[in-house]
Chain A
Amino acid sequence: GESVGLHLPTLSVQEGDNSIINCAYSNSASDYFIWYKQESGKGPQFIIDIRSNMDKRQGQRVTVLLNKTVKHLSLQIAATQPGDSAVYFCAESYTGGFKTIFGAGTRLFVKA
């Protein structure tokens, strides 16, 4: 069935280093992918998205890479800061569908 999963459940990085969070998806029909950040006690918050006609998209300190050949998505955070500590979810959906499928999440710890 459809699924969105993550390779690493937890990730610990040193402040100032770059972080990479990975995600695998299985539905080849998915054409829209989103990364969300969830801080403790809060709802998920949109970080960045990418459509299937793109391989890379950059935001402020964040970059999402999409490899459709191997159904892989990654989120890169540059110069990771303590405020980046949170759980990160990847999600997928497809045009014409009503639902978004979320992965289980990766917890990012930033060490000062």
Chain B
Amino acid sequence: NAGVTQTPKFRVLKTGQSMTLLCAQDMNHEYMYWYRQDPGMGLRLIHYSVGEGTTAKGEVPDGYNVSRLKKQNFLLGLESAAPSQTSVYFCASTARRGTNTDTQYFGPGTRLTVL
């Protein structure tokens, strides 16, 4: 089991460029999340998905889009990158809520710098 993997690990973009971050999980989890982590601010939820084909906005969704075409994958897109989107991005997944397995499993993160 690889758990939660993220691609790429590092990326540098110029303002206005676009990119897609890929998250994959092999635990058959229903729920997947994208967070950003900035110094001193903890983890902030960008978007999340409660199942294949569904997405919803989190706390800081502006400037990001997501897609969950397959249960195991959750993609985060930046259409026009801005310096304010410089951050470390984490993907997480969890089994269906209401069980005793609400623990979120996190990927290793993607460090994104926008110049």
Interface on A for B, CB 8 Å cutoff?
32, 34, 36, 41-46, 49, 89, 93, 95-100, 102-105
Contact = CB atoms under 8 A, between A and B. Distances in A.
B103 A46 contact: yes
9 contacts: A32-B102, A34-B102, A34-B104, A42-B108, A43-B90, A43-B107, A45-B106, A99-B45, A100-B33
A42 B50 CA distance: 25
A104 B40 contact: yes
Contacts of B69: none
B42 A89 contact: yes
A43 B40 CA distance: 16
B2 interface: no
Interface string B37-56: 00011110100101000001
B92 to A, nearest CB: 8
Of A49, A93, A100, most B-chain CB atoms within 10 Å: A100
A34 B54 CA distance: 26
Interface of B: 4, 31, 33, 40-43, 45, 48, 50, 56, 58, 90, 92, 97-98, 102-109
A37 to B, nearest CB: 11
Contacts, number: 53
Contacts of A36: 106
Nearest to A5: B42
Given A49-B103, A89-B43, 14 more contacts: A34-B102, A43-B108, A46-B104, A93-B97, A93-B102, A95-B97, A95-B98, A96-B97, A98-B50, A99-B58, A100-B45, A100-B104, A102-B42, A103-B42
A44 B107 CA distance: 8
